Amino acid sequence: MGVNPMKLYYYFSLIPESLIVSMLDPESFGNYFAIGSQKRSRGQAIFFEVDPDKLPDSRWLHEAARKCVPHEDGAPRKSTYLRIYRVLESLPLSALKRLYLATSDGRVLGLDSAEHAVEANRPVHLYQELCPVSPRVVSTLNPVAFGRQITDPTESVWVPKIVFAELKLEELALNPETAKADNLPYPNIEHLRDCIKELKNRYSKPNKMVIRQVREEVLYRTIRSGFFVAEPNGMLYYPFPDKSDLETIHYTWWHSALSSLGA
């Protein structure tokens, strides 16, 4: 287990939204957070490592140092919650480091941020909002434009910051009328098809909600381009590995993702 008693790690978790301090390194923390210390409960985990020097209030560091101390028997403190409400909006984008995806059996994949190249001539996108709200939306806006609009305070519905993922639509994006969708594991695929057709043909707005609130875990195999963190004047992009890298470099994680609840 990756333990350094001299170092505290800070994590921003999306499930649930919280700021956590731990004595575990990211891979060990992801394993613990997904499985639990008693191996009794399992659940997917998605979290960012946070740069403590970029936290908005230095008192959080003092609180972490006071609370996150070894147990009486010397065992490391695995997780201490610092904040559980409106965490995302309080963190500057510069504080977010790597993004980590943990499967329900504790395999952890780390993603680095990168420049995002806007994709031309793609008519429709499917977005899963993750934090602080969680609807699933089809949109004619590319990820940059979508993130900018959803965080625009002049809009009637907006949030200060948002984390979302772009999901696969495959041929439905180009031909919702007749394209096959047998390999897309979304509930009520015909409703999704109708939403895309309406958006492309006669809908007056660029976004249309498919599901008001998605409660199930993210199916990692449905991730298309990757994950985004957006605010009105900035964005971070964490590209998802392509299939060849998943099947070679990240084989162990990918096999776990396909065979667990995160499949």
pLDDT in tens, 56-100: 999 999 999 999 999 989 899 999 999 999 999 999 999 999 999
Q: Is 226 helix (H, G, I), strand (E, B) or coil?
A: strand
Higher pLDDT, 166 or 72: 166
CA 39/CA 253 separation, integer angstroms: 19
Whole-prediction pTM value?
0.93
CA-to-CA distance for 114 and 241, rounded, in angstroms?
A: 12
**How many angstroms separate the CA atoms of 209 and 198, rounded?**
11
How high is the pLDDT of residue 24?
Answer: 96
Tokens of 83: 């904040």
List the chain domain ranges.
9-111, 125-241
Alpha helices in 59-208 (DSSP H): 59-67, 87-90, 143-150, 189-201
Task: Indicate the average pLDDT of the chain.
Answer: 92
pLDDT in tens, 227-251: 999 999 999 999 999 999 999 999 9
Entry field: residues in the chain:
263
Q: What average pLDDT does range 205-216 have in this prediction? A: 89
Q: What is the pLDDT of residue 40?
A: 45
